[in-house]
Structure 1
Amino acid sequence: MRLNPVLERLTPYRAGPPLAEVRRQYQLDRISILSANEVPWGPFPEVVEAMKSVLDGLNRYPDGACNELRDIIAEQRGVDAECVTFGNGSCELLMLLGQAFLSPQHHVVFPHPSFVMYRLIALANGAPYAAVALKDLDYDLDAMLAAVRDNTSLLIICNPNNPTGSYLEPEVMRGFIERVPPEVVIVLDEAYDEFVTSPRHEESAAWLKDHPNLVILHTFSKVYGLAGLRVGYGIAHPDVVQALDKIRQPFNVDSLAQVAAVTSLRLPDRMEERRRRIAEERDRVAARLHDMGIGYHPSEANFLLVDVTGLGIPGPEVAQALLERGVLTRSGYAMDCPGWIRVTIGEVEEGDQFLSAIAELRTAGGGV
């Protein structure tokens, strides 16, 4: 077999262990899944009913242009319909952007640590890249600008950032965008934007008219509880949309996903309720960690990055110890955040299970 040589630099994405296996191995009756930044609730009830109503039509291909979904997003975001594009999750849009803009001659800049897909699309397209280190777990915007070269095609920034939860306020983000050369496409990944509660939050799609090099990504996998359906969208200049349309597969968003997404967007009050509940639980967990003397990084997302260096066991062992206690988290040692774990915000009962387990580990092995 003559495989593409770039594959030698890539490793497959590995999801967590199957829950049935975890239950069996550790004899657990209850598991709190706080590892993948999902919400603890499924689709809104109205969404479930809407999906049921179209099951009989699954013998037909979906609307390849996502017309109904395109129109409602364009209306809600205040952009022209031709400025909206769709993917099988926002991950597919990132991969398409890599194919459209990256090559061995085209450079990309992204922060690190951040979402793993940014590095992957660079490697998959043989593109040179600058992974700009965070500064105290926050973005170093001056360093990101300094990393831009004459051949830089893409600059990617996740706001709020995954895995830190750091958030750039609109005035800071706008100022940064204005400093990026106009020939560089700026990908603003807002996968966690629906969780932001900052009073200064703005609709970033409004910036597109002044910055045609801006691409804004959103997903239905997070606050809307549709991670199992895989649907995301981008807002961009029509030239970018047309470029992605040239290389995306036909019918890349299935019928159920389109119906679920459209119905979800018609229920803004339900989305706001979820935002409020996540924010309240995030604040509660953060306050409890503070009371225990355990550090965390301020977050505007649906997760917290928690400091595990002061516990009674070594930091690299914490995620496994929590797993054995029925709490799935994401080890920072697997995300180039040594000394930390990322904990998704779930139900109150899940938060309590995590807090109980971390309190136990705080005193394990003779720790204080």
Structure 2
Amino acid sequence: MTTDQILTAAETAHPVLRAAVSGLPSYVPGRRSAGEDIAALASNESHYEPLPAAAAAVAEAAGRMNRYPDMAAVELRERIAGHLGVSAGEVAVGPGSVGVLQQVITGLCDAGDEVIFAWRSFEAYPILVELAGARAVRIPLDDAEGHDLDAMAAAVTERTKVVLLCTPNNPTGVPIGHGRIEAFLRSIRSDILVVIDEAYVEYAVAGTGPDSLALYREYPNVCILRTFSKAYGLAGLRVGYAVAAPAIAEGLRRTAIPFAVTALAQKAAIASLDATDEMQARVAVVKEERSRLAAQLAAQGWKLQPSQGNFLWIRAADDLRARLVAAFDQADIMVRAYQGDGIRITVADPASNDRVLQVLAAVPAARAA
């Protein structure tokens, strides 16, 4: 090959994405509101404005935006630790619980390792796993829209590094009972990290899901994942955390993007922990509305699994799903549609929830589907 041919070949070459990236499914966020009359019920955000203490903390910290945040998030980690009764060395933070989960996958998985999770569950799970070059092992939900833990245990191989348990499950709202998780932990190897993803734990009725802290104290391979995005209303600031054995938590801090949790997010999260009673009062109203919605939908003839999240799930094949989405769009209500599976509707204020009831009451052909 001549010099000119080499130069020509070099000029026509171009950067190429990794195959793992090119083949990734895109994360599909809930659709955004475009007007005051739109009911935005697609993203499981809190419909409340930020807690006043959190908003005040952000306003006070805004004057120092020219400075980098505390990369180690020492104060926030200490406050989370005190809130949960663990040490700061057992806490790692990140930009939302999904950011911390990326730190988990990055820290534990080499190319070809396996991560087991239920499906359908949180949309980001396969994306984070495949981005790391690991293999996503999807286990279908059981008939009650919950985790099939026996099937998940049976799927474990020598390459399994992480198991993800989402409770209450997103998008179905079904929790995993304490005893079931404990039996699962006894049935698998202790070198597999079991992540209990509790993004919606504040909305669950006590006793329906696991006592994750008790499980963590007994089983060192348990990692708890939580967020300030949902019940605490800080979705726009991106701050979540993990509780894990000190060596694992240290690894998660090492794999974090430097300065990923902003100073504003850290201050808002600390202030939110100080306002837990106010947060719980808001959550209580959401629970009441969730029960009201579920009862009225059952009276309409809809068959729903009891949800422990701030949302309801309607199982629907694509033809019914398309009809429902069209009906909600016509009513200026945005819901979250999952191709081949169904729709998820965030529980919001009573007026918005009444609009949901009106839409579903007008789709009688769907009730028996």
**With structure 1 as the length reference, what TM-score do the two structures score?**
0.91
Give the letter aligned to residue 7 of structure 1: V
Moved more, 4-13 or 296-305: 4-13
Q: 1:225 aligns with which of 230, 233, 252?
A: 233
Contact map agreement 1:42 1:226 (CA 8 A) in 2: no
Deviation at 1:203, TM superposition (A): 4.2
Q: Does 1:133 align with 2:140?
A: yes
Name the SS of the counterpart of 2:103 in structure 1: helix
Residue of structure 2 equivalent to 1:360: 362
Residue in structure 2 matching 1:267, options 261, 275, 281: 275
Matched, 1:19 2:33: yes
| Residues 116-131 of structure 1 aligned to structure 2 (within 5 Å) | 116-131=123-138
Q: Deviation per CA, 1:28-53, whole angstroms, max 9, x where unpaired?
A: x6111111111101211121112111
Deviation at residue 225 of structure 1 after TM alignment: 0.7
- Go from structure 1 to structure 2 and tell me whether the alpha carbon gap of 1:201 and 1:97 turns closer, same or farther (over 3 Å shift): closer
Q: Distance in 1 between matches of 2:42 and 2:235?
A: 13
Distance 1:103 1:204, change over 3 A: same
Query: Could you tell me which residue of structure 1 aligns to residue 115 of structure 2?
Result: 108
The residue aligned with 1:302 is 310
C-alpha distance in 1 between matches for 2:272 and 2:190: 35
Distance 2:46 2:330 in 1: 22
CA distance in 1, matches of 2:298, 2:332: 22
CA contact (8 A) 1:6 1:123 kept: yes
* CA gap 1:95/1:201 in 2 versus in 1, 3 angstroms: closer
Rg larger in structure? 2
Equivalence for 1:8: 22
Question: Unaligned stretches of 5+ in structure 1?
Answer: 24-28
How big is each residue's C-alpha offset from its partner over 1:339-359, in whole Å with a ceiling of 9 and x where there is no partner? x31111000001001111111
Structure 2: which amino acid aligns with 1:331? A
How far apart, in 2, do the equivalents of 1:17 and 1:299 lie? 22
2:175 pairs with 146, 160, 167, which one?
A: 167
Q: State the secondary structure of the residue aligned to 2:241.
A: strand
Deviations for 1:75-96, whole angstroms, at most 9, x for unmatched residues?
1111111000000111111111
* Counterpart secondary structure, 1:297: coil
Identity of aligned pairs, percent?
34
What SS does the corresponding residue of 2:363 show, helix, strand or coil?
A: helix
Q: After the TM superposition, which of the residue ranges 319-328 and 202-211 deviates more from structure 2?
A: 202-211
Tell whether the 8 Å contact from 1:110 to 1:156 is kept in structure 2 after alignment.
Answer: yes
Deviation per CA, 1:94-126, whole angstroms, max 9, x where unpaired? 111121122233111111110112111221122
Report how far residue 169 of structure 1 moved.
2.0
Cα distance between partner residues in 2 of 1:203 and 1:53 = 36
CA distance in 1, matches of 2:211, 2:271: 21
* Secondary structure of 1:188 counterpart: strand
Q: Assess if the C-alpha contact under 8 Å between 2:33 and 2:39 holds in 1.
A: no
1:43 is aligned to: 50
In the TM superposition, what whole-angstrom CA distance separates every residue of 1:219-267 from its partner, at most 9, and x where no partner exists?
1110011100000000001111221222212111101111110010011
Deviation readout 1:255-295 (Å, 9 max, x if unpaired): 11111100100112112112211110000000110111112
The code of the aligned residue for 1:19 comes to S
Query: What amino acid does structure 2 have at the position aligned with 1:360?
Result: A
Structure 1 pair 303–18 and aligned structure 2 pair: CA distance change class (3 A): closer
Q: State the one-letter code of the partner of 1:362.
A: P
Letter of the 2:323 counterpart: E
- 1:168-247 correspondence to structure 2 within 5 Å: 168-199=176-207, 203-247=211-255
2:347 corresponds to: 345
Task: State the Cα distance separating 1:362 from its structure 2 match.
Answer: 2.6
Question: Unpaired segments of 5 or more residues in structure 2?
Answer: 1-14
AA aligned opposite 1:354: V
Note the alpha carbon deviations across 1:142-179, whole angstroms, 9 max, x for none.
00000000121111110100011011122222222222
In 1: Cα distance, 2:33 partner to 2:226 partner = 28
> Aligned runs of 1:64-75 on 2, under 5 Å?
64-75=71-82
Q: How many residues align?
A: 353
| Amino acid across the alignment from 1:191 | A
Q: Deviations over 1:168-197 (max 9, x none)?
A: 122222222222210101111000111111
